[in-house]
């Protein structure tokens, strides 16, 4: 056993491997301490010879300073990002993307005192590379790289129109030549999207001279109609008039100028403006309408001034009983006629406010005049005026009732204004169609008309049935009984 033990001792002492020992001189910690002391001694050497080792970079800052290290790290990391990107795509290790500066970290530079600075720069480079990677690559994760093509200048007119139809942001400023702009407009028209066409037209309107734009739109009617509508909607009157004059559309120019009266609030200024519009190159029919508009406004100014004076003075009973709710100025012709029939119905024809004067001056048809006057007089419950309005004389001097609007409409207007049953019955009898007459008489409880109609039809069954709808012991019941008895006697 002793021999074996001796052999083992010899083996361990003769081997190139050393056994574990607790001695401090062989411990790795002691070796690290020695290395630390060596580094500290090198730092002292560098500090002592700092003046001799100072160098100046192109920026004027000492090489090795903190600011110089950061700038050098940033420039190095920028160049290393491309390498990192390519290495990641090839599946290589991320360490291949680190900046390689072998000449800066040479052994000779270490003994010259630059080792500590280079180690510091390496740490800063690693930190800057990490931060730079976050800043540069995070936006690519938030938005695909293809999205940045929206702002590029590589899109053709067709692609640009297609992207605009999808709501993408596209810059039209790259289309600078006239040919490119016209191709863009033609592609927009071919796409049949009104919003895209209008957007392209706004771009052309801003970047082309008017005469060039007008000349090109003259042969593109779809785009021309879009531009005219856009100008009318936005109120660009001067540009619109220039366009219409270039196209030699004189009537449209006149109508566009006439439409400006809507923006004039002062009545006197509007009247003068309409007077000037009479001489514009309208068609014959439109010229007549402009003349009537001017004459009507002139009449309204006169009527308004007189009636305001009467209303404020309290001299008219009609104005005291029915105060005016609004001014007559700028009202339509039918409203003016109703106002005249309501407040000035009995005035002579020579007065501007007379209804007959308005009818004659503006050539109002009989049907329109009767309908308006009937509504105005029925609202005042002037049943005598209603009767006179609907009574006419023939050439032999005989009088009869006549209604251009039909007596069924007369009955409806009178009933809407709470006319008494006696007045309603008079006009229900004048309805020619028997079925319509019976429906109106039944609806508005005109019993005499219903009984007389069934009597003329000799319809005993309907008379007997209608007897149940009237009050017991009333005059209508007695009338029905008398008619039924006469039918029985005549039957025998």
Q: Quote the CA–CA distance of 404 and 390 in Å, as a whole number.
A: 9
pLDDT at position 394: 79
For residue 145, count other CB atoms closer than 10 A to its CB.
8
**Which of the two residues, 165 and 29, has the higher pLDDT score?**
165
Which of 82-86, 129-133, 306-310 is modeled with the greatest confidence? 306-310
Burial of residue 382 (number of CB atoms within 10 Å: 0-12, 13-18, 19+): middle
**pLDDT score recorded for residue 13:** 58
- 152-160 average pLDDT score: 77
Q: Which residue has the tokens 């050439």?
A: 395
Q: Which pLDDT band, with edges at 50, 70 and 90, does 260 fall under?
A: confident
Per-residue confidence (pLDDT) for residue 140, from 0 to 100: 41
The predicted pLDDT at position 171 comes to 82
Are the C-beta atoms of 458 and 487 separated by less than 8 Å?
A: yes
Per-residue pLDDT at 422 exceeds 60: yes
Can you tell me the distance from the alpha carbon of 327 to that of 332, in angstroms, rounded to the nearest whole number?
Answer: 12
State mean pLDDT over 176-191: 92
Nearest one of 221, 179, 226, 177 to 200, comparing CA atoms: 226
Q: Report residue 255's pLDDT band, with 50, 70 and 90 as the boundaries.
A: confident
Rounded Cα–Cα distance for residues 289 and 293 (Å): 6
Q: What is the pTM of this model?
A: 0.60
pLDDT over threshold 50, residue 221: yes
Mean pLDDT taken over the chain: 77
Asked whether the predicted pLDDT for residue 74 surpasses 50, the reply is: no
Lowest mean pLDDT among 82-96, 331-345, 379-393: 82-96
Flag whether pLDDT at 167 surpasses 90: no
Q: For 18-29, b where at least 16 C-beta lie within 10 A, e where not — what string?
A: eeeeeeeeeeee
What's the rounded Cα separation, in Å, for the pair 435 and 315?
Answer: 49
pLDDT score of 477: 87
Q: 90-99, 108-117, 187-196 — which one is most confidently predicted on average?
A: 187-196
Mean pLDDT, residues 205-234 taken together: 93
Kindly indicate the confidence band of residue 487, based on its pLDDT and cuts at 50, 70 and 90: confident
What percent of the chain is predicted at pLDDT more than 90?
A: 43
Q: Is the pLDDT of residue 365 over 80?
A: yes
Confidence label for 418 from pLDDT (cuts 50, 70 and 90) = very high
Better-scored residue on pLDDT, 433 or 135: 433
Closest CA to 458 of 428, 486, 425, 427: 486
pLDDT at position 20, please? 46
Give yes or no for residue 72 having a pLDDT over 80. no
As a whole number, mean pLDDT of residues 274-279 equals: 90
Measured distance CA(210)–CA(198) in Å, rounded: 16
Residue-level pLDDT at 169:
80
191 CB contacts (<8 Å, ≥6 apart)? 161, 162, 165, 197
């Amino acid at each position: 056993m002793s021999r074996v033990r001796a052999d083992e001792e010899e083996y361990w002492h003769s081997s190139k491997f050393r056994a574990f020992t607790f001695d401090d001189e062989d411990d790795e910690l002691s070796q690290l301490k020695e290395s630390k002391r060596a580094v500290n001694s090198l730092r002292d050497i560098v500090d002592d010879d700092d003046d001799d080792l100072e160098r100046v970079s192109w920026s004027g800052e000492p090489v090795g300073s903190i600011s110089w290290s950061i700038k050098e790290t940033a420039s190095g990391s920028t160049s290393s990002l491309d390498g990192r990107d390519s290495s990641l795509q090839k599946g290589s290790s991320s360490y291949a993307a680190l900046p390689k500066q072998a000449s800066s970290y040479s052994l000779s530079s270490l003994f010259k005192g630059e080792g500590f600075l280079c180690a510091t720069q390496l740490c800063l480079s690693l930190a800057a590379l990490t931060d730079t990677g976050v800043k540069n690559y995070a936006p690519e994760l938030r938005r695909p790289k293809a999205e940045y093509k929206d702002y590029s200048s590589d899109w053709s007119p067709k692609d640009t129109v297609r992207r605009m139809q999808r709501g993408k942001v596209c810059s039209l400023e790259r289309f600078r030549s006239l040919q490119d702009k016209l191709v863009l407009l033609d592609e927009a028209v071919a796409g049949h999207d009104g919003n895209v066409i209008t957007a392209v037209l706004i771009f052309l309107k801003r970047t082309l001279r008017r005469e060039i734009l007008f000349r090109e739109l003259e042969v593109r009617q779809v785009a021309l109609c879009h531009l005219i509508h856009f100008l009318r909607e936005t109120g660009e009157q001067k540009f619109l008039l220039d366009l219409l004059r270039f196209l030699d559309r004189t009537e449209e120019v006149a109508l566009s100028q006439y439409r400006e009266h809507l923006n004039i609030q002062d009545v006197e200024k509007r009247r003068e403006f309409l007077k000037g519009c009479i001489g514009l190159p309208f068609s014959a029919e439109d010229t007549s309408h402009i003349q009537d508009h001017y004459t009507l406004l002139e009449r309204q100014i006169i009527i308004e001034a007189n009636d305001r004076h009467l209303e404020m003075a309290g001299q008219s009973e009609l104005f005291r009983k029915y105060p005016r709710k609004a001014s007559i100025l700028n009202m339509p012709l039918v409203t003016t006629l109703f106002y005249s029939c309501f407040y000035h119905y009995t005035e002579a024809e020579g007065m501007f406010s007379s209804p007959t004067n308005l009818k004659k001056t503006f050539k109002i048809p009989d049907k329109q005049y009767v309908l308006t006057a009937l509504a105005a007089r029925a609202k005042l419950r002037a049943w005598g005026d209603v009767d006179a309005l609907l009574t006419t004389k023939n050439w032999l001097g005989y009088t009869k009732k006549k209604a251009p609007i039909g007596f069924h409409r007369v009955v409806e207007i009178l009933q809407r204004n709470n006319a008494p049953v006696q007045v309603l019955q008079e006009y229900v009898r004048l309805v020619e169609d028997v079925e319509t007459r019976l429906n109106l008489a039944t609806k508005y409880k005109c019993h005499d008309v219903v009984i007389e109609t069934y009597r003329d039809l000799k319809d005993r069954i309907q008379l007997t049935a209608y007897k149940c709808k009237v009050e017991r012991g009333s005059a209508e019941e007695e009338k029905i009984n008398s008619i039924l008895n006469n039918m029985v006697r005549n039957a025998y």
